[in-house]
Amino acid sequence: MSHVLVAPDKFKGSLTAVEVAAAVADGLAAAAPGVPVRVLPVADGGEGTVDAAVAAGFRRVRTLVTGPTGQRLTASYARRGGTAVVELAEASGLHRLPGGLAPLTASSFGTGELIGAAVRAGCKRVVLGVGGSASTDGGAGLLAALGARLFDADGAPLAPGGAALRRLARVDLSGLDSRLSEVDFELASDVDNTLLGTHGAAAVYGPQKGATAEDVEVLEDGLTRWAMAVDPQVAGRPGAGAAGGAGFAAMAVLGARMRPGIALLLDLLGFPDAVRGARLVITGEGSLDEQTLRGKAPAGVALAAGVPVVAVAGRSLLSAAQLREAGISAVYPLSDLEPDPTRSMVNAGDLLRRCAARVAHDFLEAR
């Protein structure tokens, strides 16, 4: 009998992708016990990417790194053979800030430490998932952790963070780990912003990280100096503005190739094999909205599935026409069962099990 593939992303602030998949699978098993179910939690390169890789068979590797504002913390990357999956948010994400937002001083240094750990362990392919970054430092911290040195006009090392880049006078890349040149870097991102300008990292994403209008100007000035010192041409590439400019550092210095996050991760997680022979795919995320249509996980799953796809979600703001255009046959929002957002988030697991029963009734009975 053909199976149902459950391939959701996380419900941010409520359940991880692994927990969402488990709840949906439980609901299907109760409502349609004779139907085989496979689960494959997915991610698009943002928060939860390492967890999804581990669920797909990668090994979790924990290491001590530096958080966005200098605190020491334990973060993980995922490894299988010579491939490592590094999630920027694991070390340098907003959720790693211990005491509030730090738009001017937060650094991507810890992400560089994760990359360094993977390279020292012998990985020859590093997939860097970006999303949820706390910093707007252009990836300067990331490169500093790998051996780059940044100096001001007096020859003093720069402090961490995007604001300090305004004082940048010289960049020395000679200390970069020589093994980096032997590694194939892939940037998993759906962000097409450039590093600078009105569509750049500071202007678009700085306010989400706590930057005021004045802070944005400071960060823009710093990123401009950074771009001029490293590679002005790469600064204008789509994706250079990803993760506060970490995309710029990855492409300009590490030679990273950018691929759409969900497409890259689906291949890496084994989606083509998991979906083969499936009769239905159930995907989802916390909110189905306009962002979903621009390369988020549910749209990527629907595009790649080749079989009917339905979605579960905390809420859906998309019209029936938009869902059809994205390849999603039906959506089952938790808000239909529990309109109160707080209660919905608290009881998301039970609500997902009820939604899964509705999916079974609508798509699996007498088929």
CATH number (domain holding residue 123): 3.90.1510.10
| Residue 313 within a domain | yes
Amino acid 99: pLDDT: 87
| Residue 268 within a domain | no
**pLDDT tens per residue, range 85-95:** 999 999 999 99
Q: Are residues 68 and 19 in the same domain?
A: no
Report how far residue 291's alpha carbon sits from residue 269's, in angstroms, rounded to the nearest whole number.
22
**Band of residue 366 on the pLDDT scale cut at 50, 70, 90:** low
**pLDDT tens per residue, range 230-246:** 999 999 999 999 999 99
pLDDT at 291 over 90: no
Q: Which domain, by its residues, includes 180? A: 49-262
Q: Which of 227, 262, 297 is a domain's end point?
A: 262
Q: Which of 211, 233, 262 is a domain's end point?
A: 262
Q: Are residues 344 and 238 in the same domain?
A: no
pLDDT at 367 over 80: no
Measured from the Cβ of residue 100, the count of other Cβ atoms closer than 10 Å reads 7
Of 42-51, 139-148, 354-363, the range with the lowest mean pLDDT is 42-51
43-77 burial: b if 16+ Cβ within 10 Å, else e:
bbbbbbbbbbbbbbebeebebebbbbbeeeeebbb
Q: Which of 262, 293, 316 is a domain's end point?
A: 262
Q: Are residues 215 and 357 in the same domain?
A: no
